[in-house]
Structure 1
């Protein structure tokens, strides 16, 4: 009222305040009315308040329209309007619009009170992790805020950060390293765990390398977890999955950064990795990094025995070999598995032929398991379920006993499981080898043993030969425990003490701490077994068994890798040889097919011609014989014959005589002809089968197996015999009109007979005429009809001869054609495999190179405790 009294009243401020009062008292319509008439600088705020009132009234579309109509440069008002729109969209459940407006609000005024907290809560509630991560990351970098980095760490631990590319986190991590070293490790480790199982693993490692390079030494903390992750990733990169071309350039940087941040628990592994890589790939690492690694390797104490790493590496190599279908000899895998078996101490027993070591072992275990002069490598273990298995090159075979005679093709190996109380009580496995007189097998088995028991003959202990072998053992395995068993003490009973003393003196010159155990297989077994158990416990250092087995396992892993490298060459050569051999076999097989095909054609021609000759001869004979039979029927004509019906009687007689001849003479004769022909065919077929058998034996000899069985189908002959019996048993004769056909001569005779036959003086004339006619008539046409009818079934038989002969040859030809197809497929497959091997040799070579790298790393670590011959 007071303002209206002025000349130029301004009611906007008062109306704005009135609108506020109405709004807070929930009279939203009155508030809108008051705010709608404001024209000064308060107008944008009034619009915003009006929209708030519409919002409270539930007029959401009007509120949204009003909010969007506000034009202002005031950041606070802009933010307030945006937050109200944000609330409106949430109420409308329009998540996409709400997300968009809150993102724009944070981007425009991130310092506005609670706006980022509100955004974070919204993103987390709707599990919009991409937006939540982007918000937290931007705020963390902008504010260098520990709170926001902790939020990111939570996201990483939850496992949702892998939706972002690794490069997204690079700059923020560098900033965090300067802000909080401990939190940097937590976040980096959490992100690493997110990416290490994804396809982005390599990219992540490169991102971390770039970050670590930029971090100054004073910002590097005690990052034990990161050191472990660097080691884990390095080992993963060289586990045979990747090619050198894929990871070769990034590994030097990885190793350098690992050395830069590693803590004491990982420093030795990092140093060994650097030195091993430098050996395999010279000049790819910084000289300073290599120098630092060498110093660490000399200074640091070894933290672990490395046994588990060696087992893991051996399993990786064997798995890779199996995956690539590379055959690894059973003997090699068997020895490696025996090393991994920690249930018993592996004691290698060595000695000369004269030492009696095999008899000594039999006496100890309580079984005559070993031949007196054992020529094989035999491992004797305790097992409740006894049995003997021969370890062949490609298989493990259950056998009844250990063979006395050696194989000339390979060194035989056996694994004998015995229910022996001695082996069980002392937890010992005994390993016997051929005598040191016969072979150097002892030296090749050293790396499979935990200790050596050297058996001496009490009659002549520690000979020059035995001393030479002992020296070789000490050179090859300087740290292995070697002690002695003085056998056959019963033979020197009177000089027992002196022999023991002299032997100990000789032995201790070579091994000062060596023990000597006196033994005789003829003494009481239980007592000696118990005494040897005490000797074993006192002299063999079982506490170092894991360290020694690590060395042994690494030795055989190296042998395995070398074997697989050679196997690659062997496989390529084998494929080349296989292709060449199969191509030669293909040529031979095709030659055999053509040869059998030619034989088939020849037999079809010969046998068909033979049968045709029989048929033609028979036909000629029938054509000659049937007219004679018909003419011979003239004797049936008598002067007193009934000439009125004689033509009928004669026709009947002719049919009877022809039928009788065909049945009683022609068919048996034809049967004999066919049987003779079948006999000739049988001989021909037998010759063919003999020839094919020789061919088959030749092929099987080349295949070195009973691959082909080229049996012809002799059932064809049985079918022919059955058909011959069926065709020649009887004929189906249908009477023919031999004299009843309409010919001039026959017509006159039949007519004369009917007219004149009753007159006696005419019978003589008719008799002569009939007889003359029958005897002089040309029966060729009739004979042809009879013969054709008779031979018709035999002609059907003739037509089947070619088909039947082909059936005889069908099986050999089918098998040969199938073998040809198999050879072609094998040639194509081998050529394809050979082509791939030659095109991409790195797919084979690189994994083995990395396996060798890991092996070398393990060897460097193992050298802290033992010497490894390389």
Structure 2
């Protein structure tokens, strides 16, 4: 071992030097070399090796290399390694690397030294990957070599190569069992660099640590637990660590405080609503089993309660012995906790979940819980059948006529610094504007019981007695109304039932009281017998009171009974009421009773949310059905409207065409007559050389007069009639659309569509017709100036023979005959085209204008169609999600019920096998 150390340190040369001689190593080795050389078979290798070392230490690396190159004995591998060291020192790194990598040796020390040198070389040359490979190989082949693991760790940490650093720490911890390496691993966990590894990678190391140091084991497991808490591998870790713990011989006496705390926190987080039950069923039973095995004194009751709660909702998921142990522990172990705080935390968690999942704001139940935790105020619920005198009694207590008519909502009257009135329903808490607004609410009938009214105002009686009065609508035979009123029974600390002295404690009243006691069996009930003034004889009044009181006590022996009349002296009655209400106060175990009420509302809230999920599904189904029906009806209405538009467009166009055709027929018939009549203008003494010009001019004038004075006025009147007919036709369409819109609005339940047509179209038509018929100017028509053979012949003859008197008679007859017998059909067509030319664009716009008339109804129906289709698709998608993942709603609420049962078990810890409902 000493020689290996000398070879490592390059001090092998000291073997040739007497430690007592004060001589330079070079001189000593030179003398030894000469002495050895004198022998018959000299062995100079060892001396040369030693000389190389001395040269190396004196930085004569080339001389050292020369000496080491000639070593052929057992020191040759070390010599080769030293040569590489010399090249390294000379900066000839490539040559050094080649020699290091070419060395193949069996000596573990030399192999480790070569690896470390090669590792240093790679770092120097910035070959990080090669450096990693080399140092890992060095650790793997000779991990006990001095400093090799420390060098590797320092290198990995410096390079932030946490994967290899963690791997090194785990392997060394398992190999050596050294707590130092477990501490290094702990530091890596706390740095967060172990998260990239699968949890099972560390299992064996943890098992080894458990057998070495239990406390360090808990510390390391807790660190892993916290590091994976918010990672995707969290459940994988839960599975791994809990199966690991199951296989260990855990002893609760070892005080696993940190692991016990982590089990509690993890269990609470798992059942907080973020996971599906099918995910948890593989993890929670094992988690609870281990929690029971290692729970410390602070957590043994929560652990046992959790086991029992989970077992209730998921029977047979836990081992029988674990459940039995939990039952035993919960019955004998007392537990101190802030029950109200824990209960409110659970309630708030449910409310937060409900809001985040669009299950409503649940303002009413929030208000109820707020009143339940107000321990400074007693809540007295005053009820009775209709006309029992309840409102009169309440007004007497309040000292004001606040209830002057039968109420339709539940009202809580309480003392406040100033008058404030609030209406609370599931969706909102709204402040009312004042007393008149309150009266209006009291008189309504529809959905009155969906809200509760809180009336705060300064009242000394309520302040002194620390009471709040809850007034209910009179109870009649409507069971649904009873159910809505009974929702508030658990808010009350006691009930005051008002009886009518005229007919006290009827069968109907007994039935109602029995219903109340079925809903709230622990709620004390007391009685007011009102209207006692109906008895003129005091003895009769006293008799009725005593008989009624006896009947009450036969069924409700603890009930307090008091006579009342609005005609009695108020001051006296108020004094009596104070004493009476003191007897009615339910102050014994008020905290426990209020806690039980709070648990009741938590349980009913969970049940209500489960029902709300069903209601949401049914509502979605109904919404889809309704929108599909609306879509079908809207589509039918739209198609009918389109048909109407097409029909009206064609009808209007046809009516205009008929008018136009009739005018054209008239023109074709009359224009030739007018032109032929112009023959009378031809005389024998006419100037036949220019007569064709004169006749053409006159003919155009007569046509202009005819069109202006006869055709156009008649056409205007006809067009006015056409407008009236169009208005009538379009008016019928509007009436139809109003009926159609009313039908749709009835289905919508509001004025959702307004199918107003655009009658401005008719105004535009009137304006256009007025403009186009106000004046007509006929462009000069070429009647007798055309190049027809007859006209050419006549015009030529007129010019040639017109000056000769003997020829005028002949020309007169010819012209007259020509004008009277000429075919003017084409001229009539030309005149007709000119006449109707201004109306061409007007006629072409009918289809567009009719569309504009119907544009708003069309747009409205198309919008409604699109909205209906969108609602169908949206709600179908929601239904698909609900049906595909029913656990989205069911599972969180089931887990809330688990938490509720856990809490209920904790409240009875140490009190025997009782539970709270």
Shorter-chain TM-score tier: 0.7 to 0.9
1:193 and 2:226 are equivalent in the alignment: yes
Q: Deviations over 1:627-673 (max 9, x none)?
A: 33333434544565444433322222221121122112211111110
Deviation at 1:181, TM superposition (A): 1.7
Q: 1:459 to 1:162 in 2, by over 3 A?
A: same
Deviation digits for residues 841-861 of structure 1, max 9, x if unmatched?
A: 334433333232223222333
CA contact (8 A) 1:383 1:418 kept: yes
Q: Which residue of 2 aligns with 1:350?
A: 382
Q: Tell me, yes or no, if the aligned pair for 1:387 and 1:418 is still in contact at 8 Å.
A: yes
Q: Give the equivalent residue in structure 2 for 1:87.
A: 120
Which of 662, 678, 681 is equivalent to 1:633? 678
User: Separation in 1 of the partners of 2:504 and 2:40?
Assistant: 135
1:430 to 451, 468, 473: 468
C-alpha deviations, 1:520-544, integer Å up to 9, x for none?
Answer: 999999x989x97999899675996
What is the distance in 1 between the residues matched to 2:107 and 2:526?
A: 95
TM-superposed CA distance for 1:200, in Å, is 0.6
Aligned residue in 2 for 1:172: 205
The aligned residue for residue 622 of structure 2 is: 577
Query: Paired residue for 1:602, among 647, 657, 665?
Result: 647
2:152 pairs with one of 119, 122, 143: 119
Whether the 8 Å CA contact 1:378–1:413 is kept in 2: the answer is no
Superposed counterparts of 1:153-302, under 5 Å:
153-218=186-251, 221-302=254-335
Distance 1:55 1:383 in 2: 92
What's the CA shift string for 1:461-486, capped at 9, x where partnerless?
99799999888777766777889999
Matches within 5 A, 1:606-685: 606-637=651-682, 641-685=686-730
> Is it true that 1:444 corresponds to 2:482 in the alignment?
no
Change (3 A) 1:687 1:423: farther
The 5 A counterparts of 1:733-772 are 733-743=778-788, 745-747=790-792, 749-751=794-796, 753-754=798-799, 770-771=815-816
Aligned residue for 1:407? Answer: 445
How far residue 840 of structure 1 moved from its aligned partner, in angstroms, is 3.7
Query: Judging changes above 3 Å, is the alpha-carbon distance between structure 1 residues 755 and 103 closer, same or farther for their aligned structure 2 residues?
Result: closer
Which of 750, 760, 766 is residue 705 of structure 1 equivalent to? Answer: 750
Residue of structure 2 in register with 1:377 after alignment = 410
Change (3 A) 1:848 1:457: closer
After superposition, where does 1:19-30 map in structure 2 within 5 Å? Answer: 19-30=52-63
Distance 2:233 2:566 in 1: 68
The superposition leaves residues 196-249 of structure 1 with CA deviations (integer Å, 9 ceiling, x where unpaired) of: 111111111111111111111348621122112112222222233222322213
1:807–1:550 CA distance, 2 compared to 1 (3 A)? same
1:453–1:485 contact (8 Å) kept in structure 2: no
**1:568 pairs with 613, 632, 635, which one?**
613
Q: Any residues of structure 2 matched to 1:449-598 within 5 Å, and which?
A: 449=492, 451-452=493-494, 454=496, 545=591, 548=593, 550-598=595-643
- Give the aligned partner of residue 23 of structure 2: none
Taking structure 1 as reference, are residues 180 and 752 closer, same or farther at Cα in structure 2, changes over 3 Å only?
Answer: same
RMSD of Structure 2 on Structure 1 (CA): 4.4
Match of 1:75 in 2: 108
Please state whether the residue corresponding to 1:173 is helix, strand or coil.
helix
Q: Distance in 1 between matches of 2:580 and 2:83?
A: 101
**In structure 2, distance between residues paired with 1:66 and 1:840:** 67
1:378 match: secondary structure: strand
1:676, CA displacement in angstroms? 0.2
For structure 1, which segment, 42-51 or 501-510, has the greater mean C-alpha deviation from structure 2 after superposition? Answer: 501-510
Aligned mates of 2:781, 2:603 — CA distance in 1: 99
CA-to-aligned-CA distance 1:101-134 (integer Å, 9 cap, x gap):
2322222222233333333333333332222222
The secondary structure found in structure 2 opposite 1:670 is: helix
Q: Distance in 1 between matches of 2:148 and 2:581?
A: 81
**Aligned-residue offset at 1:715:** 2.2
Alignment CA distance shift 1:777-1:523 (3 Å): same
State which of 77, 96, 100 in structure 2 corresponds to 1:63.
96
For residue 162 of structure 1, give the secondary structure of its aligned residue in structure 2. Answer: coil
CA offsets 1:42-86 (integer angstroms, 9 cap, x no match): 332333344344444444333333333433222222223323333
Who is 1:694 aligned against? 739
CA contact (8 A) 1:478 1:867 kept: no
Q: 2:132 aligns with which of 92, 99, 104?
A: 99
CA distance in 2, matches of 1:645, 1:480: 126
Change (3 A) 1:808 1:533: farther
For residues 749 and 722 of structure 1, what CA distance do their matches in structure 2 show? 48
C-alpha deviation, 1:724, in angstroms: 0.9
Shift of 1:323: 4.2
CA positional deviation for 1:300: 1.9
The answer as to whether partners of 1:377 and 1:414 remain within 8 angstroms in 2 is yes
| Pair 813,471 (structure 1): closer, same or farther in 2 beyond 3 Å | closer
Contact 2:672 2:828 in 1 (8 A): yes
Which segment drifts farther, 410-419 or 809-818?
A: 410-419
1:314-334 Cα distance to aligned partner (Å, 9 max, x none): 344444444444446553454
- My pick for the range that moved more, 793-802 or 478-487, is 478-487
TM-score by length of 1: 0.86
SS at match of 1:706: coil
Shift of 1:290: 0.8
Aligned match of 2:368: 335
> Contact 2:252–2:293 at 8 Å: present in 1 too?
no
Change (3 A) 1:544 1:593: same
Cα distance in 2 for partners of 1:489, 1:157 equals 79
Q: Could you say if the C-alpha distance between residues 53 and 544 of structure 1 is closer, same or farther in structure 2, counting changes exceeding 3 Å?
A: farther
Stretches of structure 1 lacking an aligned partner (at least 5 in a row): none
Using structure 2 for the length normalisation, give the TM-score: 0.82
- Structure-to-structure mapping, 1:702-851, within 5 angstroms: 702-743=747-788, 745-747=790-792, 749-751=794-796, 753-754=798-799, 770-771=815-816, 773-851=818-896
CA offset at residue 567 of structure 1? 2.9
Cα deviation digits, residues 243-284 of structure 1 (max 9, x gap): 232221332222111111112222222212211221212122
* Alignment CA distance shift 1:542-1:791 (3 Å): farther
SS in 1 for 2:254: coil
Q: Is the contact made by 2:502 and 2:531 (CA closer than 8 Å) also made in structure 1?
A: no
Matched residues in 2 for 1:8 and 1:88: separation?
A: 40
Q: Is 592-601 or 827-836 further displaced after alignment? A: 827-836
Moved more, 725-734 or 397-406: 397-406
Distance 2:199 2:465 in 1: 53
- TM-superposed deviation, 1:714: 1.9
Change (3 A) 1:580 1:509: closer
Match of 1:347, SS state, is strand
1:372–1:819 Cα change, 3 Å: closer
Q: 1:305 aligns with which of 334, 338, 342?
A: 338
2-side partners of 1:571 and 1:277: how far apart? 28
In 2, are the aligned partners of 1:433 and 1:441 still within 8 Å (CA)? no
Check whether the contact 2:371–2:491 (CA below 8 A) recurs between aligned residues.
yes
Contact 1:349 1:357 in 2 (8 A): no
Q: Which residue of 2 aligns with 1:855?
A: 900
Give 1:166 deviation, angstroms: 0.8
Distance in 1 (alpha carbons) for counterparts of 2:473 and 2:276: 46
Q: Deviations over 1:458-509 (max 9, x none)?
A: 99999799999888777766777889999999999x99xx99x999999999
